[in-house]
Amino acid sequence: MIATFLHTADWQLGKPFAGVDDIQKRTLIQQERINVLHRIAEAAKSNGAEFILVAGDVFDSPSATKSTVSAACAAIGAMKVPVLVIPGNHDSGGPGSLWEQSFFQHERDQLAPNLSVLLKPEPLELETAVLFPCPLLRRHESTDITTWLRSIESDLERFGDKPRVVLAHGSVQGFGSQAEDDEGEGGAINQIDLGRLSERGFDYIALGDWHGMKQVGPKAWYSGTPEMDRFARGESNDPGHVLLVTAERNGAPKVTSARTARLGWHQVAFDFADDAGLTRLEEEIDRLIGPHAQQDLLLLELGGSLGIEATTRLEQKLESWQARLLRLKLGNRTIIAPSPEEIEALTQRTSDPLVARVATKLVVDASGDNEQAACARIALRELYAACREN
């Protein structure tokens, strides 16, 4: 028997994105996490998925707002096929959890009757597959949440030729949210030992927690978050996808990805060797964000030195990028280094000897790398601008 399904995780609906200062832009980013659910529905429909698995962290918090809960249930209901969810570390289950609150249950019943939240570690037999959910009932578990699977391996044959699919949320082989999240507490929590799961016993292991798409075992994958929510770290981080899976009993699963992300999270590190570097930087950023507005976020690290006029042009470009981007996270270590032409224009002013003397003194003071030198460079820039205006 063959099962075709969609594997996703780490939606983290309601994430605050506190690093984005502009309230309107922050709201747009938050809304995109709801919008991506419609793209997930389209991927499921176009690829003939029989059901959708969500490997934890539907919500960013166990106290998601009522509006977030309602929006999530409405979007899930529009997916039409069964959606099966386990709680993750951000929305863990257990007594009093979000999943047991009357408002969530009411919205699920009214808007998403196709949604099932799997709160018990026990097999769930579907028409074409058997699910083995490993829900997180607490935010932090010190023991392997898949341990119960090893205790039932001898009883698996009763499910016949249906593919067996594990659904879990946690860290394996150094991959997990603790390895990538600035807000992570660190430590060996929610660990999953794939090596102790029988390869013969299970046919696909759908994982959540690591926000990038990654295969971590012959039959084990992280789907990653379907809409990026942070600047990626390293080549192993490939977020913004869902996984389309075809699984069969005792066969290798066939896994392909579908791109679902809309927002672009870009990173650029650039050192200015000369003023011409500013043009090269503009070309690189234009290549990344094109004519878009309110669709991209940029982590920009700048270094090196620029002349006075080039520094002014850079500030104008930064102002433009700040307006166009949803977020500009800037690390600017660029120093002002007047070009020979700019120095000459200030120090060789025969018509204004006082300016020439002051400029000559500032040029000498600006040659160091201390606070006095930094102040001198700023003063040179202001002096140059005043002379240009006159």
Dist CA 112 CA 54 (whole Å): 14
- Please check whether residue 72 is in contact with residue 26, taking contact to mean a CB–CB distance below 8 angstroms: no
User: What is the reported pTM?
Assistant: 0.87
254 shares its domain with 283: no
228 shares its domain with 333: no
Q: What are phi and psi of 75, to 5 degrees?
A: -70, -40
pLDDT number for residue 183: 43
> Whose CA is closest to 318, among 309, 328, 310?
328
Query: Strand, helix or coil at 25?
Result: helix
Dist CA 241 CA 118 (whole Å): 23
141 shares its domain with 187: yes
pLDDT number for residue 390: 64
In order of 14, 22, 159, 308, 328, the CA distances from 27 in angstroms are: 10, 9, 46, 37, 16
Question: How many C-beta atoms lie closer than 10 Å to residue 284's C-beta?
Answer: 12
Dist CA 132 CA 135 (whole Å): 10
Chosen domain end from 212, 227, 259: 259
245 shares its domain with 305: no
Beta bridge partners of 89: none
pLDDT number for residue 182: 43
Q: Which domain holds residue 321?
A: 265-389
Q: What is the mean pLDDT of each successive set of 10 residues along the chain, which is 390 residues long?
A: 97 96 96 98 97 98 96 97 97 94 97 98 96 94 88 86 96 64 54 79 95 94 96 79 96 96 96 94 95 94 91 94 96 85 74 77 76 80 70
CATH code, 12: 3.60.21.10
196 shares its domain with 319: no
239 shares its domain with 270: no
pLDDT number for residue 307: 87
